[in-house]
Structures are given as structure tokens and as C-alpha cells.
């Protein structure tokens, strides 16, 4: 039953996408990019819980780092349209290159941490994690609150 609903939802999504790919509603764009940012928050929290030894899931370190890289990469396109809203400040699109470079750097850092985690676990990934903690400086510069 569940599967049937999912199939219907997917079919509707594909249909809608085909119809209006070029004219997304502002609210949908803002929801989309906020969801990406929430996933960044969720995976950063997962990584933190592992790094602080709160959960014994060290083998997941690389997955969280990969997910951070993927969300950061996806955010570059999600924020491209000049659309202040949510808590995104208007200066994002005045300083687009700087803003975009920060997500690019976060994606690189995520991939580096994932590679280090795969080759040497926490011992190797730990020293590389600094590159992931660029969230606050971007929020301080490019969010309205």
C-alpha cells in the first residue's frame, strides 16, 4: 500500500517537473534550499556525535562526510537564483563568488574527511575536520538572523 502511494507521488512529481521545471515557485525554492541546509545540520551532528565518542559508529564517519560534501555541492545550485527569503540575506547575490566558494570549499573538505576516514578512521579524519567548521562564519555573513 505504502509503495503504491510512493509510486503515485513519484509519478506526480515527474509530471509536475516536466510541466514547470523552468518556473519553480519561490516558496518551493526556499523550502528546497532550507531542506538541504537541514541535512547539512543533521550530518554535522552525526559526525560530531561520533567524533566525541557519544555513539560507537566510527564506520559511519565517511558516510556523514560524503553527505556533507553532497549537500554543499547541491547548495551551490540551490542558492544560485537571486531570491532573498527565509534567513538568506540579499548580500549572497552581491557577493555571489565568495558565497559560492564557501560551499565549494565545504564540499572539498567533506570529500577529504571521507577519504581520510576510509583510509585511517577517526585518527586520520580528525585532523582534517577543521575544514568542515565553516558554517558559522558563512551564517554570520550571509544570514539575516
Which chain residues interact with ligand HEC by CB under 6 A? 30, 33-34, 37-38, 40-41, 44, 68, 86-88, 99, 102-103, 106, 132, 134-135, 138-139, 142-143
Q: Which is nearer to ligand HEC, 48 or 120 (CB)?
A: 48
Which spans in the chain are helix H?
2-20, 26-51, 61-78, 91-94, 96-125, 135-142
N-to-C CA span, the chain: 43
State the Cα angle at 79 between 108 and 102, rounded to 5°: 30
Residue with smaller CB distance to ligand HEC, 84 or 121? 84
Closest approach of Cβ 136 to ligand HEC, in Å?
A: 8
Nearer to ligand HEC, 7 or 130 (CB): 130
Residue number, nearest CB to ligand HEC: 86
Output the CA torsion sign for 4, 10, 16, 18.
negative
Amino acid at each position: 500500500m505504502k509503495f503504491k502511494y510512493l509510486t503515485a507521488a513519484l509519478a506526480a512529481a515527474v509530471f509536475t517537473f516536466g510541466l514547470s521545471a523552468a518556473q519553480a515557485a519561490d516558496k518551493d525554492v526556499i523550502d528546497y534550499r532550507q531542506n538541504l541546509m537541514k541535512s547539512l545540520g543533521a550530518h554535522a551532528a552525526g559526525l560530531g556525535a561520533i567524533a566525541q565518542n557519544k555513539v560507537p559508529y566510527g564506520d559511519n564517519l565517511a558516510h556523514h562526510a560524503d553527505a556533507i560534501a553532497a549537500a554543499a555541492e547541491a547548495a551551490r545550485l540551490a542558492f544560485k537564483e537571486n531570491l532573498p527569503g527565509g534567513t538568506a540575506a540579499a548580500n549572497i547575490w552581491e557577493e555571489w563568488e565568495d558565497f559560492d566558494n564557501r560551499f565549494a570549499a565545504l564540499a572539498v573538505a567533506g570529500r577529504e574527511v571521507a577519504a581520510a576516514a576510509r583510509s585511517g578512521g577517526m585518527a586520520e579524519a580528525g585532523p582534517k575536520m577543521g575544514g568542515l567548521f565553516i558554517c558559522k562564519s558563512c551564517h554570520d555573513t550571509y544570514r539575516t538572523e
